[in-house]
Amino acid sequence: MRILGIDCGSQITGFGVIESDGVSHALIEAGAVRTDSRQALPARLLHIGEQLRAVIARHHPDCAAVEDTFTSVNARSALKLSQVRGAVLFVLAEAGLEVGEYSPATVKGSVVGHGRAEKEQVAFMVRSLLRLDRELRPLDASDAVAVAVCHAVHQPRRAA
C-alpha cells in the first residue's frame, strides 16, 4: 500500500510517501512545502495545495494520513494550523483518497512507543524503521513519514 503522510504547518508542511505492507516500510519520497510568512494566508494555502497535488500526481498514493490539530496555547496559531489542515484535507478529498486522521500522541506512540516523544526521537525512529542512512530533514518531513507509518500499522493487513 502506498501512503502519503502529511504534517500540516502554515510555514512548513511536511510530506512523506511510503510503501508499506503494515510491517515493513520503504521510503518513496519525503520533503516539505515551505511558504513565505510575508504572504497572505490564502496565497500560502494555494501554494501548499499546488505542491501536494504535484506529490499526488508523481506517486499516486492509495491513501493518505494527516495528524489531528493539537490544542495550542496560542489560539491564532491553532486557527492558522486548522486552516492549513482544511486546505490539505480538501486536496486529498479532491484526489479521491481515503484519509486517516491521528492524534499526535497516536503517531508518536506508533513510531517511538510512547506519545510524549520529542521531534528528534521521532526522526531517529523513522530513520531506524525505514533503514535510512540519515535522518530526514526538515523534521516536518520526518514527522510526515511518521504519520504515514502510523497509518500503515493501524490498517488491517491485506492479503498478499
Task: Decide if 149 contacts 110 (C-beta within 8 A).
Answer: yes
- Active-site annotation holds for 140: yes
Say which of 19, 36, 62, 67 is annotated catalytic: 67
Say which of 36, 98, 140, 143 is annotated catalytic: 140
Say which of 7, 94, 98, 135 is annotated catalytic: 7
- Active-site annotation holds for 62: no
Task: Report the distance separating Cα 110 and Cα 143, nearest Å.
Answer: 12
- Active-site annotation holds for 68: no
Q: Which three cell numbers stand for residue 98?
A: 481515503
CA distances from 68 to 37, 59, 101, 158 (A): 22, 23, 6, 25
CA distances from 47 to 34, 89, 100, 119 (A): 9, 14, 23, 25
Catalytic residues: 7, 67, 140
